[in-house]
Amino acid sequence: MTRSSLTTPPPGAAAPAPPPGAPLPGAALGSHYGHCFGCGTEHPTGLHLTARTPDGATVEAEFTVGEAHQGAPKLAHGGVLAAAMDEVIGMSVYLFHKPYVTGRLETDYLLPVPVGTTLHLRAWCNGISGRKAYLEAEGRIGAPDGPVAVRAAALFIEVSMEHFAEHGDLAAIAAEHQDFEVNP
Ligand SMILES: CCCCCCCCCC(=O)SCCNC(=O)CCNC(=O)[C@H](O)C(C)(C)COP(=O)(O)OP(=O)(O)OC[C@H]1O[C@@H](n2cnc3c(N)ncnc32)[C@H](O)[C@@H]1OP(=O)(O)O
């Protein structure tokens, strides 16, 4: 992965152990918001990611590229692929049971991804330092061990729930979530 210093964890930054109450290994991670472009089941043209954590620390998900996700004819749009990486990385930081938002997302595009392809996504944390979480993800074509089409490195920043209340829709958060320790 080609990355900048901004998404490289400082020396000594380590991924935290899963907190009490974190999803157990093998658990499915449901959608955090029905209208989310990444995982919402109610979004008509979203990515509809379905995710799970195999080990309580990393996240795996699948995304099948549809007609609505094209850039060039019959090929996935790069921004849509970046959104898939953002979402699966967001789900991996969700395992820490604290609200985070994307501060920076760096993406390497290695292969074109045709419409109809299922991308197998995987995300993990390389370390946390203060409010900063350093994360990484990859998307492989056709199978969990298929060729890598996309890689991403990200810096997520821990925020308070007031971030979402001030800038977003607190009523919508409350309607779907009882646990205010996690991302809306
Ligand atoms: C199941 C749940 C799944 C959830 C999935 C969600 C997936 C999708 C996630 C998203 O897409 S979130 C939406 C996209 N992101 C945003 O809308 C965030 C918009 N940006 C902000 O709200 C603020 O800029 C931000 C909260 C990130 C930071 O503002 P703050 O005022 O809280 O902090 P500050 O600016 O002081 O930065 C804190 C530290 O982070 C650093 N930082 C912030 N933004 C950075 C950046 N872009 N690049 C590098 N460093 C950055 C900053 O330099 C500083 O470092 P130091 O502590 O060392 O001084």
DSSP 179: -
Using most ligand atoms within 8 A of CB, pick from 31, 58, 101 the residue to mutate for ligand 1. 101
ipTM of the complex: 0.97
- What are the residue ranges spanned by the domains of the chain? 27-176
pLDDT digits (tens, 9 = 90+) for 147-162: 999 999 999 999 998 8
158 alpha carbon to ligand 1 midpoint, in Å? 7
> In this structure, which residue's CA is closest to atom 37 in ligand 1?
157
Please list, in sequence order, all residues whose beta carbon lies within 8 angstroms of the beta carbon of residue 172, skipping any fewer than 6 positions away.
33, 184
Is 3.10.129.10 the CATH number for 27-176? Answer: yes
> Given ligand 1 and candidates 89, 92, 100, 157, which is best to mutate, with the most ligand atoms within 8 Å of its CB?
157
> Rounded mean pLDDT of 119-130?
97
> What gap in Å lies between CA 34 and CA 52, rounded to an integer?
17
- Atom nearest to 104 CA in ligand 1: 47
At residue 45 the predicted structure's pLDDT band, cuts being 50, 70 and 90, is very high
pLDDT for res 177: 60
Q: What is the pLDDT of residues 57-94, one digit of tens each?
A: 999 999 999 999 999 999 999 999 999 999 999 999 98
pLDDT at 178: 45
pLDDT score of 184 more than 60: no
